[in-house]
Structure 1
Amino acid sequence: MIWEGNTTGLIVECRIGTEGGWNTGWDRWVGTAELSAPPDPEELARRAVARMQLQPIQMGTFPPLEQRSPAALGYVGWNVWMWVDGATASNWGPITRSVSERGFSVSATARVDKVEWDMGDGTIIECQIGTPWQSIWTHNEASPDCGHLYAKDGEYSVTATSHWVIDWAGIGESGILTMDLDSTGTMRIAEVQVVNVNEP
């Protein structure tokens, strides 16, 4: 028996298609709790985040990374600048998406809280969006908010980790989700050789 002694709920008819002109299906009992329980709001929030298609930042640096300019070089003791190149809603935020299910809705808003730059020499620098370098600066000016100095020459693997914070609310609840996304590149640093010439 479908009811099996249950006195509340519904009998629903389930069908999965046709076969030889006949519908294939069955009946099942659905309890009252299953009918009335709302969806998990955090699960809906995660689905909303998936719809955002969040991206890692585009790494802006001076000197440029090898991937952008293979011939580019920085120098020991010279200022390196770092910034978010071309910030958009999908790689910096804020961006908002909502998901609904059975009349219940959850909304989530994501934004980057900070960017951590691992410079490949053991130094990690915490920044916000940063300031782009401009060609008018030709006297080894330091970045006002996101810069670095290398003490040795070499090739350094640089990683920029954007730390996303996602606030969500809905179905009488709220919470915070986090996500980290990485961008990587290589910076080449050379030693400046100074040659003293004795004039006759």
Structure 2
Amino acid sequence: MKPLDILTAPGIGLAVANVDTDQLIPARFMKEPRSVGYGQFLLFDVRRDAEGGLDVDFALNKPGAERAEVLVSRRNFGAGSSREAAVYALVDGGFRCVIAPSFGDIFASNAVNNGLLPAVVEEDDAERLLAALVDVQGIEVDLVEQRLRAAEVEVGFSINPVWRTKLLNGWDDIDMTRQHQGEIDAFATRYAERFPWARAPGAELIGKG
């Protein structure tokens, strides 16, 4: 994954609570291979009017919204089913950060595993950011200092410390485990010496390689 430390990019506000994974990507599109690009399915039904055309008043349909890399929304973003495709749709749509007062637990975990930052802010701060992002505006996301800046608004955000480390370094779970390679090798050696009968003849130590 691409590391994320300080991101300065266009941002857009989606002033809606309870945006669930079914809205983020309708189930009928999940039969498509990821290679087609899931960004085209992001909020597919929500951003259309009753006749099926694009709703010109919807945030993601505004001029310049296609350049946005940061999305600000309201509480309970990513609730609902555990479909990872909801994160794929955001990432393929160009987003690197979603800011909200709260997230669905599985969505947030899936987001981090795909390099998407779920930044948690206070509800009042979310409203301040939404007011600053009435139209597409620049926003700075500082994961090092855990600060957000848009126009005259500056607020802090929270994130699980382990997730922060993964995003700062562009690590997945395997990369995180590899940071302890020396300890793993030492344990494997001690274990093999203590229980030599548990190791198959010719087998390599688990931590090696």
Q: TM-score, normalised by structure 1?
A: 0.19
When you count strand as a share of all residues, which structure comes out higher?
1
When you count helix as a share of all residues, which structure comes out higher?
2
Instruction: Give the structure with higher Rg (CA).
Output: 1
Q: TM-score, normalised by structure 2?
A: 0.19
